[in-house]
Amino acid sequence: MLFQAIPFILRLGTASEATLISLLAARCKAIRRLLATDPKTSESEILSKLVAYTSDQAHSSVERAALIGAVVMRKVPTDEHYSVREEMLRKMVEEDKAAGLIPFYFCATLGTTPSCAFDRIMELGPLCNKENMWMHIDAAYAGSAFICPEFRPLLNGIEYADSFNFNPHKWLLVNFDCSAMWVKKRTDIIGAFKMEPLYLKHENQESGLVTDYRHWQIPLGRRFRSLKIWFVFRMYGVKGLQAHIRKQVALAKEFESLVKADKRFEICADVVLGLVCFRLKGSNELNQNLLKRITKSRELHLVPCQLSGRFVLRFAICARTTESRHIQQAWCHITQLSFELLQEQPH
Ligand code: PLP
């Protein structure tokens, strides 16, 4: 089974924790490396020059990790597909290095929150490796889809990553909370967080037989999250989980074709997995009003986003029991409310 085959996976509670841990480990690694090469410098001097990067589409938890880690985080602009490309990051890194700063960390996203966009890690990875920047991959939502071979090309370039995280609790039928983090070199994490007071010493410590996950995370105690993952895997099997993902992607495609067939609406981002970004052709205000009506009706719950300055509605399929008839009903409901709204608009 997946999690038995890869023993050094840390089961955390959230993707936010994983990002924070990777950033703190990267910070510690960079400081140690720079102190070793230039003993005249100080930890505080290095810290004041460190710069981290992430996409302008990244989840707010990434920016928050930098806030907690007390480092500057710069947002890299994205292309027309809302993906970070190598030349965009390279330009910022070069500018910062010329200004005497020290780039040390890049958080790529596979499956951004606003539109489920994918940063081009195949291009970005070699740059990060060359510049000694830790590359963390936040695949909180989309990571579950990689259980299907047809989505794995989106993972091309993963070999350059220092850490990777996804939330089985988002889309792999595991109950909240469960976030799985993989680290290329576990000594990077352990080196950053290891504390060994007398009251936590134990006989197996030096034998290498026990993986002491307390050194990998912020809390000392741990929940037994692998047990519930194991039960889900036993219940559904790989085929069952693949069928679940494929069905939901197909439902998203079904919704996308309904939107595309209606000239009053537009699709606002590529539909790759279970998220459809769409809007009424017209002003942001019009779409805000549509969302208000949808929310007020209490039939559907949509969370909006801003894409290229436009207010966009997000139709996310994630409930295990969603069927085609729900998609049809939802669309019927949205078009009915849109019809009423458009009727009221001054012509
Ligand atoms: N990263 C991405 C891409 C997300 O979509 C989300 C939540 O939606 C998060 C991080 C935060 O996840 P968590 O609640 O597990 O910290």
- What is the whole-number distance in angstroms between the Cα of residue 323 and the centre of ligand 1? 25
Which is more confident, 224 or 86?
Answer: 86
| Res 174 pLDDT > 70 | yes
Which is more confident, 12 or 81?
Answer: 81
Rounded Cα–Cα distance for residues 289 and 49 (Å): 45
Locus of tokens 């330009």: 91
**Residue of the CA atom closest to atom 8 of ligand 1:** 113
Ligand 1 neighbour 138 (Cβ under 6 A):
yes
Ligand 1 neighbour 55 (Cβ under 6 A):
no
| Res 8 pLDDT > 90 | no
What mean pLDDT value characterizes the chain? 93
pLDDT score recorded for residue 333 = 98
Alpha carbon separation from 127 to 92, 106, 138 (Å, rounded): 12, 10, 18
Q: For residue 4, what pLDDT band results from cuts at 50, 70 and 90?
A: very low
Cβ contacts of residue 175 below 8 Å, gap of 6+? Answer: 169, 228
According to DSSP, residue 111 is labeled S
Ligand 1 neighbour 140 (Cβ under 6 A):
yes
Ligand 1 neighbour 151 (Cβ under 6 A):
no
| Res 5 pLDDT > 50 | no
pLDDT score recorded for residue 338 = 97
According to DSSP, residue 77 is labeled P
- What is the whole-number distance in angstroms between the Cα of residue 33 and the centre of ligand 1? 30
- What is the whole-number distance in angstroms between the Cα of residue 142 and the centre of ligand 1? 10
Rounded Cα–Cα distance for residues 310 and 113 (Å): 15
Q: Which atom of ligand 1 is nearest to the CA of 19?
A: 10
Which is more confident, 197 or 264?
Answer: 264
- What is the whole-number distance in angstroms between the Cα of residue 94 and the centre of ligand 1? 29
**Residue of the CA atom closest to atom 14 of ligand 1:** 14
Cβ(266)–Cβ(278) below 8 Å: yes
pLDDT in tens, 273-287: 999 999 999 999 999
Ligand 1 neighbour 19 (Cβ under 6 A):
no
Locus of tokens 């037989």: 209
Backbone angles phi, psi at 251, to 5 degrees: -65, -35
Question: Domain coordinates of the chain in residue numbers?
Answer: 9-223, 240-344
Percentage of the chain exceeding pLDDT 70: 96
What's the topology of domain 240-344?
Answer: Aspartate Aminotransferase, domain 1 (3.90.1150)
pLDDT in tens, 239-269: 999 999 999 999 999 999 999 999 999 999 9
Question: Residue 266, SS3?
Answer: strand
Ligand 1 neighbour 141 (Cβ under 6 A):
yes
Nearest to 22 by CA among 149, 193, 175: 193
Rounded Cα–Cα distance for residues 336 and 330 (Å): 10
- β-sheet with 50-55: strand ranges across: 9-12, 179-183, 163-166, 134-138, 102-109, 50-55, 72-76
Rounded Cα–Cα distance for residues 317 and 314 (Å): 10
- What is the whole-number distance in angstroms between the Cα of residue 45 and the centre of ligand 1? 32
CATH C-level class of 9-223: alpha beta
Q: Which atom of ligand 1 is nearest to the CA of 177?
A: 15
